[in-house]
C-alpha cells in the first residue's frame, strides 16, 4: 500500500508542501478546494474523544511534548500569543501558565466542535484568559504584525498548503516574533521506526475501533504522518518563507519534533 511506507521522495513532498494539483488527506486525494471541508468533517467526528484518544495512544507523551515545546518558546509576561490550529487548546493552557496570566492567548481553529470542547475544558478558559476564534490558518483573521509569539501543534500537516499557512503566520507575527511548530516526524532509530509503524498502523486503529467504534480516523492519522515531510524539510520551508531557524528538538526518538523559528524581516 502506498501510504504504508514513509515518503522519501522529494518531489512528492514538495507537492504536498505547495498544495499544487491534487492534495492528500492520508491515503485519500482530492482537489485543493475540497480539502478544508474534508479535514473539518474529520475533526468534527473525533472532537468529543480527541483528548482521551490522544492521551491513550501516546501514553500521555503528548502532554510532555507540548510542555517542552511551550518551554522552548520562552514566553514573556505581557506577550500576545496565537495558537493556530489550536483545537481543544492544550498549548494555549500551557501558554497561559507560562505568561502567569499576564498577556493574551488566542486559539484559532476552523472546527467549531474542537473549540467548543476546549472552551468547556478547564477553568482558565472560563476565567476568560483564552480567546477562542473560529478561523482558517491559511487566512488568519488577525491584523498584520499583531502577535509576539505563535504556536501550531499537530496542525500544519493538515493544511491544504502548509506554505500558505507559513506565509500567514509570518504576516501576523511582529518582526522578531517566534513561531513554535510541533509536528509528528519520523523516528530516527530504524528498529524503533518499525515498531512505531506496527503500533500506529495496526494497533492504534484496532484500539480505536474497540473504544470509539471506528478505526478510520486513526488510520488517517497514521497516513497523514507518513505523507508529511520529516523535520529537516519542514525547517527549510520556514526558512524559505522568511523565518530564521533557532532550534529543532526531536521528541521521543523523533516521533515528533518541535521547531522554533523567528521572523527575520518586517514583511
Ligand atoms: C491534530 S489537531 C491539533 C489540535 C491541538 N493543536 C493539539 O495539539 O492538540 C489539528 C487541528 O487543526 C485544525 N485545522 C486543520 N486545518 C485547519 C485550517 N486550515 N485552519 C484552522 N484550523 C485547522 C483542526 O480543526 C484540528 O483542530
- Residue to mutate (ligand 1; options 40, 110, 117; most atoms within 8 A of CB): 110
Ligand 1 atom closest to the CA of 40, numbered from 1: 25
The values of phi and psi at residue 216, to 5°, are: -55, -50
Of 219, 73, 223, residue with least CA distance to 152: 73
151 close to 65: Cβ distance less than 8 angstroms: no
Q: What is the pLDDT of residues 173-214, one digit of tens each?
A: 999 999 999 999 989 899 998 899 889 888 888 888 888 777
* Separation of CA 191 and ligand 1 centre (Å): 30
Residue 227 binned pLDDT confidence (cut-offs 50, 70, 90): confident
Question: Which atom from ligand 1 is nearest to the alpha carbon of 151?
Answer: 6
**Total structural domains in the chain?**
1
**Which grid coordinates belong to 93?**
493552557
Q: Whose CA is nearest to atom 15 of ligand 1?
A: 158
Please state, rounded to an integer, the average pLDDT across all residues of the chain. 88
CA of 243 to the centre of ligand 1 (A): 22
**Distance in Å, CA 7 to ligand 1 centroid:** 22
16 has pLDDT over 70: no
35 confidence band (pLDDT: 50, 70, 90): very high
* Ligand 1 atom at shortest distance from the alpha carbon of 43: 25
Atom of ligand 1 nearest to the CA of 182: 8
Query: Across residues 99-104, what is the average pLDDT?
Result: 91
> Does residue 65 contact residue 256 with C-beta atoms inside 8 Å?
yes
Q: Please tell me the predicted confidence (pLDDT) of residue 122.
A: 72
CA distances from 157 to 7, 21, 125 (A): 14, 16, 27
CA atoms within 13 A on the CB side of 188: 10
- Domain CATH code at residue 168: 3.40.50.150
Distance from first CA to last CA of the chain, Å, rounded?
43
> Burial of 200 by CB count in 10 Å (0-12 exposed, 13-18 middle, 19+ buried)?
buried
Its pTM stands at: 0.91
Tens digits of per-residue pLDDT, 42-76?
Answer: 999 999 999 998 999 899 999 999 999 999 999 99
Q: How confident is the model at residue 221, as a pLDDT?
A: 81
pLDDT for res 222: 82
83 CA: nearest ligand 1 atom: 6
Model pLDDT, residue 9: 43
Domain membership of residue 11 as a residue range: 2-263
Alpha-carbon distance of 232 to 242, in angstroms, equals: 16
Residue 223 predicted with pLDDT over 90: no
Pocket of ligand 1 (CB under 6 A): 36, 39, 43, 85-87, 90-91, 109-111, 114, 136-138, 153-155, 158-159
| Strand ranges inside the chain, DSSP E | 23-25, 28-30, 80-84, 104-109, 130-134, 147-153, 173-184, 243-251, 256-263
Amino acid at each position: 500500500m502506498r501510504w504504508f511506507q514513509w515518503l522519501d521522495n522529494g518531489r512528492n513532498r514538495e507537492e504536498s508542501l505547495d498544495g499544487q494539483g491534487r492534495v492528500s488527506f492520508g491515503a485519500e486525494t482530492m482537489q485543493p478546494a475540497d480539502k478544508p471541508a474534508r479535514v473539518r468533517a474529520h475533526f468534527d467526528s473525533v472532537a468529543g474523544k480527541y483528548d482521551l484518544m490522544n492521551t491513550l495512544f501516546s501514553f500521555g507523551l503528548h502532554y510532555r511534548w507540548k510542555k517542552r515545546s511551550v518551554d522552548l518558546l520562552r514566553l514573556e509576561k505581557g506577550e500576545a500569543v496565537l495558537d493556530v490550529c489550536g483545537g481543544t487548546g492544550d498549548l494555549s493552557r500551557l501558554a497561559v501558565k507560562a505568561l502567569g496570566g499576564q498577556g493574551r492567548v488566542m486559539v484559532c481553529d476552523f472546527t467549531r466542535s474542537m473549540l467548543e470542547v476546549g472552551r468547556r475544558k478547564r477553568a482558565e478558559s472560563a476565567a476568560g484568559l483564552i480567546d477562542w476564534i473560529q478561523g482558517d490558518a491559511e487566512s488568519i483573521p488577525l491584523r498584520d504584525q499583531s502577535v509576539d509569539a505563535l504556536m501550531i501543534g499537530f496542525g500544519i500537516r493538515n493544511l491544504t498548503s502548509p506554505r500558505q499557512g507559513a506565509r500567514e503566520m509570518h504576516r501576523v507575527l511582529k518582526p522578531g516574533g517566534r513561531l513554535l511548530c510541533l509536528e509528528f516526524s519520523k523516528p530516527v532509530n530504524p528498529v524503533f521506526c518499525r515498531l512505531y509503524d506496527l503500533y500506529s498502523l495496526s494497533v492504534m486503529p484496532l484500539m480505536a475501533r474497540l473504544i470509539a467504534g471506528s478505526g478510520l480516523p486513526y488510520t488517517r492519522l497514521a497516513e497523514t504522518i507518513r505523507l508529511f515531510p520529516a523535520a529537516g524539510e519542514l525547517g527549510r520551508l520556514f526558512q524559505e518563507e522568511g523565518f530564521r531557524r533557532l532550534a529543532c528538538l526531536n521528541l521521543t526518538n523523533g516521533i515528533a519534533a518541535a521547531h522554533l523559528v523567528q521572523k527575520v524581516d518586517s514583511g
